[in-house]
Structure 1
């Protein structure tokens, strides 16, 4: 069993308007996933320095961070990065550029977890429906041209107001779209902005929204999580198709 999570940390600024990276890391320890996709990990202006430092992540959690930042002080690519539990092997990483009116991107990492291989995409889609659709299709197109097909999880803040249609229809054509539950606004969650999407060779055995008292204060989003099981027979078919 593999556990994953996604969390828009809003640059570590909580609902009390305090920037508290230690609180974010405590929340991640509560969630206790094997792999975590983070959004809005870097500050937006100036040096765009990371609100979480790799050193602090290592000191306070069992995670290591993949640095996708192109600036010396940044950790993410357009704010996106991926954390993985120490002991998991990173096989490959890359950044994905997405079409947008405003800067948007996604990050990709292939992992070996015990006997399994898993591809993880972390992303944060735009605020405009037309561009969200284009961004979703761009992610799928960039996955299609990779040399090796792997069981894949796509997760992040989709900014999709509706529970179906829009960019979700692009993913749903060939993927499972999981709805862990309302994750925004963290003080009174009513919107399903944060989603987990998998290829058909990944079985989701459980999913949900992490609603601890600490999480309600850490960001305007709540973390979402899923437990996964790879269907080896289906994965083999996908690799040979």
Structure 2
């Protein structure tokens, strides 16, 4: 039997009306559970490498590489990294050397940028680095407030694509001998991070203990991973007999800290004057744009 065209049109209109009134995401009684986007695991380290000079006063960049390799990391933020800086590190580009040795992507933030000792040689630089097993989408390094003639500090940022989900990773090293300067630097970091649209991880040698005002400033908007998941004091400095927690991994509230620990292996205990910290984080699984 042939259905009149008017009736076909009315049936089609009714179907559209029902579809609009019943969103596809609404679960009906007896329907199977809707699949949820899986969290993305991310293993992160912060490590002040002291330009690869160990507690035994031996310069050995391969020990730093071993600590990173043994920790099976996704991302590591390094502080006190030399790049053609001087004889103390044999004028080696330490960031590039580690990236090649570990087969990782790298970005470098030069907070000291000096003329070479001889014309035609690379510039002598000192600062921070971020190494990543995942692609780095974009990056920048921003100078932080500096008092008097103190060393210039910076905030290195790398936007990293973690299995389809972008995360903003920041790395910093705050002033070591001026608490007021650290507060100003922490306030600047808070402003630079702002209200992010993507997950945030901040790592660094903050040169302050957890109760200090500069740390309290940072955790107004970020979560201290050690407070969320750490066991014990988490002391990282000095490496031979650590008595202070001054090395941190912080994250935005949408990121979950699963575990966090100070690395105390024999090689980690001699590779630098700081012990590294490793955290297993879970990024929220929803996919957002990664262009730009």
Alpha-carbon deviation of 1:68? 3.2
Q: Aligned residue for 1:126?
A: 175
The answer on whether the counterparts of 1:106 and 1:123 sit within 8 Å (CA) in structure 2 is: yes
Q: Aligned residue for 1:176?
A: 223
Question: Moved runs in structure 1, 4+ residues, more than 4 A?
Answer: 43-51
Q: Matched residues in 1 for 2:153 and 2:280: separation? A: 27
Alpha-carbon deviation of 1:53? 5.0
Q: How many residues align?
A: 227
> Which ranges in structure 1 are unaligned for 5 or more consecutive residues?
237-241
Q: Matched residues in 1 for 2:153 and 2:106: separation? A: 20
> Which ranges in structure 2 are unaligned for 5 or more consecutive residues?
1-40, 115-121
Q: Matched residues in 2 for 1:210 and 1:95: separation? A: 27
- Provide closer, same or farther for how the CA distance between residues 53 and 151 of structure 1 changes in structure 2, counting only shifts above 3 A: closer
Q: Aligned residue for 2:94?
A: 52
Alpha-carbon deviation of 1:165? 3.2
Q: Matched residues in 1 for 2:220 and 2:183: separation? A: 13
Q: Matched residues in 1 for 2:95 and 2:167: separation? A: 25
Q: Aligned residue for 1:92?
A: 138
1:63 matched to 2:68: no
Alpha-carbon deviation of 1:59? 4.1
Matching of residues 1-241 of structure 1 within 5 Å: 1-42=41-82, 49-50=91-92, 52-54=94-96, 56-69=97-110, 72-73=122-123, 78-85=126-133, 88-101=134-147, 102=150, 103-127=152-176, 128-144=178-194, 149-160=197-208, 162-179=209-226, 181-232=234-285
Q: Matched residues in 2 for 1:191 and 1:66: separation? A: 29
Moved more, 26-35 or 44-53: 44-53
The two structures have a TM-score, normalised by structure 1, of: 0.86
The answer on whether the counterparts of 1:11 and 1:43 sit within 8 Å (CA) in structure 2 is: no
Q: Matched residues in 1 for 2:59 and 2:138: separation? A: 32
- Provide closer, same or farther for how the CA distance between residues 213 and 118 of structure 1 changes in structure 2, counting only shifts above 3 A: same
The answer on whether the counterparts of 1:98 and 1:138 sit within 8 Å (CA) in structure 2 is: yes
Moved more, 100-109 or 150-159: 100-109
Alpha-carbon deviation of 1:166? 1.6
Q: Matched residues in 2 for 1:61 and 1:93: separation? A: 20
Alpha-carbon deviation of 1:89? 1.4
Q: Matched residues in 1 for 2:144 and 2:277: separation? A: 23
The two structures have a TM-score, normalised by structure 2, of: 0.71
